[in-house]
Amino acid sequence: MRISSNFDSGNIEVIKAESASDIQLRIRKDNQSDFYQWFHFRLESTPFVQHTINILELDKSAYPGGWENYQAVVSYDRQEWFRVDTDFDGKTLTITHTPEHDVSYVAYFAPYSYERHLDLISWAQTQFDCRLEHLGETIDGRDMSLLIIGQPEEGKKAIWITARQHPGETMAEWLIEGMLERLFDENDGISRSLLNKAVLYVVPNMNPDGSARGHLRTNAVGSNLNREWATPTLEKSPEVYYVLNKMQQTGVDMLLDVHGDEALPYNFVAGSEGTPSYSAKRQALENAFKQALLQVTPEFQDEFGYDKDAPGKANLTVGSNAVAEKFDCLSYTLEMPFKDNINLPDAAYGWSPQRSKQLGEDVLVAIHAVVEDLR
Ligand SMILES: [Zn+2]
């Protein structure tokens, strides 16, 4: 038996891997940080034998509640990721898997590799009216890339979409992929109409270093980028520094910052109700966006989510709050589940790349519903 993780977004430590009935593993912490939750490894072993894979010490992981009612994903071809039986006793996650082939890949959620990211932005730049702009370098020397879709013209709104500040939340980049496919469909009325009224500034991956390193939550030097928006620095958070600089050049009429939530089995949004500049106008925009998304897909709901911030009590180091305050605009964090949407569960796949992509298409309808009223 062999267990390895020396590949893009791989992350596991092997404690014991001799017998299929008692494999013991641990998740490596994000570099210079105490966060750990993302795992992704390759298991080479005997097919048609049941394997019991124990991941230990998860009571101290970033979100212990994330392991309740959670099912790990497995793939043979690294394309199709299906759910497998998984239990959690408060400390140890036990994955039961009987391989049908010599090699299985096991992960927290369907990975989105750095190579796929490069393919995505390269494909995008060949589409009509899309430019690929280099914003700066990350700490590990990767490129921070921005897609600018549509012609910037007088009167058009500037809509920013950012994803994967937390690199383990790969569903966020899957969502971007679906959104881009629809945006570039020249026969799609929503997309054409939206691009008549707005320019979209899309950062498909805010944290390429953390993504390639197999981190859950931080960049190469342990910075949680979604707590860096008050005073980003080139030393600790160049990713945010460059994006915020560019936002200051373009202005921002709306931000959607896309994430995954470890614990809650729903899609939901978190608004900027706690920012000092919050207004009736912004509340009306938030409601209009939510109502449109509720209409377009039952994958979205507005009953379960984070507790609302009290007036004036928002954490202004968080991206969506900081941007709402700085630009006085509609600004939402969009959260998708690692587990499933339990209003519409799928036992075989759970929440998946395909459903994330579909939500990305649907979100364009909600943006289109509010675009004329922005700011
Ligand atoms: Zn997140």
3-state SS, residue 2: strand
Can you spell out the DSSP letters for 56-88?
--GGGSS-GGGGTT---EEESSSS--EE--EEE
Say how far apart CA 356 and CA 268 lie, in whole Å: 13
Distance 172 CA to ligand 1 centre (A): 9
pTM of the model: 0.98
pLDDT of residue 375 exceeding 90, the answer is no
Just list the catalytic residues.
Answer: 335
Distance 340 CA to ligand 1 centre (A): 16
Q: How do residues 263-308 score in pLDDT, each as one tens digit?
A: 999 999 999 999 999 999 999 999 999 999 999 999 999 999 999 9
Mean predicted confidence (pLDDT) in 122-137? 97
Cβ atoms of residues 259 and 206 within 8 Å: no
Distance 168 CA to ligand 1 centre (A): 8
pLDDT of residue 223 exceeding 80, the answer is yes
Residues around ligand 1, an ion, CB closer than 5 A? 166, 169, 259
Structure tokens at 226: 């979604």
User: What structural domains and CATH numbers belong to the chain?
Assistant: 2-107 (2.60.40.3120), 114-373 (3.40.630.10)
Nearby residues of 8 by Cβ (< 8 Å), 6 or more positions away: 111, 113, 114, 115, 212
Report how far apart, in Å, the C-alpha atoms of 41 and of each of 2, 6, 103, 158, 273 are.
10, 8, 10, 40, 40
Distance of CA 26 to the CA centre of its chain: 23
Strands 23-26 vs 51-55: parallel, antiparallel or unpaired: parallel
Structure tokens at 281: 């106008």
Mean predicted confidence (pLDDT) in 63-71? 98
Give the Cα-Cα-Cα angle 236, 238, 240 (nearest 5 degrees): 105
